[in-house]
């Protein structure tokens, strides 16, 4: 896949649940390889729905969508599984497996791929050290704080060195120091070629990092470049 190829492409994508109204309509998006975007919008704007389509938890109700060049409308279950292995996801509510300890939770994507257990142990230990949770390896999520769970969730998302990282409010439950450290991790991953999309409400985050925004408003997606965003902010401040 070349530098200018789109990791995700959406053409007139719409999504609805059952017979309800469309949550998102006519979404057109080309997410370039190696890009970094914030996903913004009010609560209920459809950020989680858009992300869930991106991590292939659900298919669009209409329109066509390609992920890593594969049209998912025609992908079978095994194809989808193979594509999902290239995507890391951080959920807003962490979605850690309560009966597994921190180590096993982080190891999950590697074991699902059938990686050798020695390599799994090496990689997981390294990453848990990096997120400063090596002392909590054998602790289950219910004994960890919100911030610690968040870090476990992020470690699980990046352990497999994904080509696409999708994060839903990844810094929502951590202090500023940890938030900065996690953002540094995302930026480093992005520099190494990982495409990153972070859903956030944090103005600070958006201001601190000059990345374009995918903004959801009235069921539609608008792409706002950082310069344009700054201009809007200045106008609003004035």
Partner 1 sequence: MPKSLYISRKQELPLKGDSTSLFLQVIISIAVFIFAITLSGVLSVNTMLYNWNRSILGSLTVQIMPVNDTNKEKAAAQTLAHQEKAVEFLQNVDGIIKVTPLTDEQLKQLIQPWLGDGVNLDSLPIPRIIDVKLAPDAEINFVDLAQKLAQTSSQASVDNHKLWLSKLIRFADGLKLIASTVLFLVTIITSGAIFYTTRMSLGLHRNIIEILHIMGAKDTYVAQQYGKRMAFLGFCGGCLGLFFAVPVIFFISSLAVQIEGGIISEASLSFGDWITIFSLPLFSMFIAMLTAYYTVKRTLQKML
Site string for partner 1, 61-90 (x = CB under 8 A): ----------------xx--xx-xxxx-x-
Which residues have a Cβ under 8 Å from the Cβ of 224 and sit 6 or more positions away? 212, 213, 215, 232
**How far apart are alpha carbons 108 and 99 in whole angstroms?**
13
Sheet containing strand 36-41, strands side by side = 87-90, 164-168, 195-199, 36-41, 213-217, 220-224
Candidates 1, 57, 210, 227: give the one binding partner 1 (CB under 8 A). 57
User: What's the residue count for the chain?
Assistant: 238
* Beta carbon nearer to partner 1, 101 or 200: 101
Is residue 111 within the footprint of partner 1 (CB under 8 A)? yes
Contact 49, 215 (CB under 8 A): no
Centre a 10 Å sphere on the Cβ of residue 21 and count the other Cβ atoms it contains.
8
Candidates 36, 38, 68, 103: give the one binding partner 1 (CB under 8 A). 103
* Beta carbon nearer to partner 1, 106 or 179: 106
Q: What is the CA radius of gyration of the chain?
A: 18
* Beta carbon nearer to partner 1, 25 or 49: 49
Hey, is 25 helix, strand or coil?
A: strand
* Beta carbon nearer to partner 1, 55 or 229: 55
Contact 142, 98 (CB under 8 A): yes
Question: Count of residues binding partner 1 (CB under 8 A)?
Answer: 34
Candidates 12, 138, 207, 230: give the one binding partner 1 (CB under 8 A). 138
CB of 38 to partner 1, least distance (A): 21
Residue numbers at the binding site for partner 1 (CB under 8 A): 55-57, 77-78, 81-82, 84-87, 89, 95, 97, 99-101, 103-104, 107-109, 111-113, 117, 121, 124-125, 134, 137-138, 156, 160
């Amino acid at each position: 896949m070349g530098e200018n190829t789109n990791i995700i492409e959406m053409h007139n994508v719409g999504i609805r649940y059952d017979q309800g109204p469309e949550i998102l309509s006519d979404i057109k998006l080309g997410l370039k390889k190696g890009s970094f975007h914030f996903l913004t919008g009010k609560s209920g704007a459809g950020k989680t729905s858009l992300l869930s389509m991106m991590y292939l938890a659900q298919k669009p109700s209409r329109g066509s969508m390609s992920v890593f060049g594969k049209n998912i409308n025609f992908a079978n279950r095994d194809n989808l599984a193979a594509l999902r292995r290239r995507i890391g996801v951080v959920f807003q509510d962490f979605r850690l497996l309560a009966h597994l300890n921190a180590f096993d939770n982080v190891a999950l994507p590697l074991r699902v791929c059938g990686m050798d257990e020695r390599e799994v142990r090496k990689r997981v230990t390294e990453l848990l050290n990096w997120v400063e949770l090596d002392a909590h390896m054998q602790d289950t999520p219910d004994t960890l704080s919100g911030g610690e769970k968040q870090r476990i969730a992020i470690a699980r998302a990046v352990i497999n060195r994904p080509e696409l990282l999708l994060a839903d409010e990844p810094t929502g439950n951590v202090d500023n120091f940890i938030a900065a450290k996690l953002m540094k991790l995302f930026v480093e991953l992005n520099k190494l070629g990982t495409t990153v999309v972070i859903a956030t409400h944090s103005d600070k985050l958006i201001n601190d990092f000059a990345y374009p925004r995918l903004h959801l408003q009235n069921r539609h997606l608008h792409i706002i470049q950082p310069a344009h965003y700054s201009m809007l902010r200045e106008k609003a401040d004035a």
